[in-house]
Structure 1
Amino acid sequence: MNFRSLDIQVVDGSGVKVIQNGILVESVELCTIYDIDKEHFKYVYTTRFELSTALSTQDLRMKDPEEEERLCSECHTSMREGFCFESDGTKYCSVECLTKVIT
């Protein structure tokens, strides 16, 4: 059986790391996340789709540890979506933060 692995983290909607040091392990019949620090398989599913769906229902997502964290320029919280201005690199997580600086 061939396995493929990838270093990952699991973070919640506000950017808090639920799993700091994890490994995504995939094969034809298995897709799981191994938590290195707690030494156990935290999430075990048969496909990446099932794993991603289960994480998203808990407001969690997989994150590459090398991925640059995006912080809101106004409230400085971690963000996955929002508004980004390429002209000056500012990012805003919500309409509320955007309207505080742009009227």
Structure 2
Amino acid sequence: MSNQAQASEAFDALGDPMRRRILECLRDGPCPVGEVAQRLPIGRPAVSKHLRVLEGAGLVEHATKGTRNLYALAPDGLAGVQQWLVGTWGDVLTSFARYVEAEES
């Protein structure tokens, strides 16, 4: 998957405030679905659905430990988003520099 496609899929997944909160819950380390659900105002089935979307976007990973599914942030999950932001910001700064140079002339 290209960086742009990865970033697009990640942004789509992050468009939901609950999914952003789930990522915040996983900052402290891997958690089972039930523990994530305890921290949020939604039930376990809804958390599971959100985690599947986040996993599909490459933002989280899961590992099975016995009977528990532990979810964790994917190490490079936000790399595509970061690259998109850096590229976009670079383009904005270049455009601004051109504008300033044109105004000074």
TM-score (normalizing by structure 2): 0.30
Larger Rg: 2
Greater relative contact order structure (CA < 8 Å, 6+ sep): 2
Higher helix share: 2
Higher strand share: 1
